[in-house]
Amino acid sequence: MSVQHATLTRREALFVLGGTAAAAALGVASCQARAAADPTASSPHLGSSLADSPLNPGAAASAANQATSLSLHAPALTLEDLPWNLRLINGEHPLPDNFEAPELKSFADGAHAVDKRIYQSLQAMLKAARKANRHPVVCSSFRTRAKQRELYRARVQQCKDEGLTGKKAREEAAFWVARPGCSEHEAGLAVDLVDESYQELDKKQEKAKAQKWLMKHCADYGFILRYPTDKSDITNIGYEPWHYRYVGAEYARAITDSGLCFEEWLETYLANGEGRG
């Protein structure tokens, strides 16, 4: 991540120096920056419209597409200018300490919840999978900071039990469980999905029928497989053939088709200004 991060940071610095005035002149950065800084601040398109149309599953994807289409044409100059659905959350770009959880929507069974702006896209994806006789199961969704901390500490302890000490144990743990503040689950933008018939979180998950279907179709519903097998040196997270991140349908397709991981794609997107490198 260090090389990637250094590059991003350089670009950010350049854009901060040269991009802010231009963005302000175009009058587009301020509202996007607010949305990125506070994903709980629902945009007029993505907040209310989803909640108001529970009987129209297509409306969510349509509203999200509309909004992302609009933002595709706006210059994205820094990470802070990105819309809420492209917010980068990783070890180098943690959520702030005072981060407030987005408005959530719980599943019918009450066992899970996600940012309400992604709820209908997620449900549409799960429904389509079931229609294709595939059976993905949500095993993790929104997490509080406290829950993330608990998971991370448990993993650190596991690493210590396996003989690692101090910094090494913490680094190894963070490769598999994001540090508190660094997880997309805390923003309600990610879900872990496993096959009903194989629910282990390991590499074999990629072979499961439901998982193969998800990998092939998730972009149609605005999701990307966030931690691909060959990108761990950039994401700093181990291969997770179950963690899906919502970015919106148009971005998801562009990212998937690019073959880049989210960090790489964002760098290209920022470098090109108008995105879509």
Strands (DSSP E) contained in 57-207 are 104-106, 113-115, 136-140, 190-195
Residue with Cβ nearer Zn ion (156 or 270): 156
CA 209 to CA 194: how far, in whole Å? Answer: 10
Residue with Cβ nearer Zn ion (15 or 239): 239
Q: What are 13's two structure tokens?
A: 């610095």
Q: Is 220 a binder of Zn ion (CB under 5 A)? A: no
CA dihedral sign, ordered 29, 32, 33, 34: positive
CB of 5 to Zn ion, least distance (A): 21
Q: What are 182's two structure tokens?
A: 């660094």
Q: Is 103 a binder of Zn ion (CB under 5 A)? A: no
In this structure, are residues 104 and 113 in contact, taking their beta carbons and an 8 Å threshold?
Answer: yes
Q: Is 243 a binder of Zn ion (CB under 5 A)? A: yes
In this structure, are residues 243 and 190 in contact, taking their beta carbons and an 8 Å threshold?
Answer: yes
Q: What are 136's two structure tokens?
A: 């993905």
Tell how strand 113-115 and strand 104-106 pair up. antiparallel
* CA-based nearest residue to 60, from 180, 205, 221: 221
In this structure, are residues 57 and 231 in contact, taking their beta carbons and an 8 Å threshold?
Answer: no
CB of 64 to Zn ion, least distance (A): 21
Residue with Cβ nearer Zn ion (187 or 219): 187
Q: Which of 12, 38, 171, 192 binds Zn ion (CB under 5 A)?
A: 192
Residue with Cβ nearer Zn ion (38 or 192): 192
For this structure, is 240 an active site residue?
Answer: yes
Subset of residues 111 to 140 that bind Zn ion, contact rule: CB under 5 A: none
Q: Closest residue (Cβ) to Zn ion?
A: 243
Task: Find the distance separating the first CA and the last CA of the chain, reported in whole Å.
Answer: 21
Residue the block writes with tokens 């997309």: 184
- Applying CB under 5 A, the site for Zn ion has a residue count of 2
Q: What are 130's two structure tokens?
A: 């079931």
Residue with Cβ nearer Zn ion (11 or 245): 245
Question: Which entry of 80, 184, 186, 240 is annotated as an active-site residue?
Answer: 240
* Chain positions contacting Zn ion, by CB under 5 A: 192, 243
Any idea which residues carry the catalytic annotation? 240
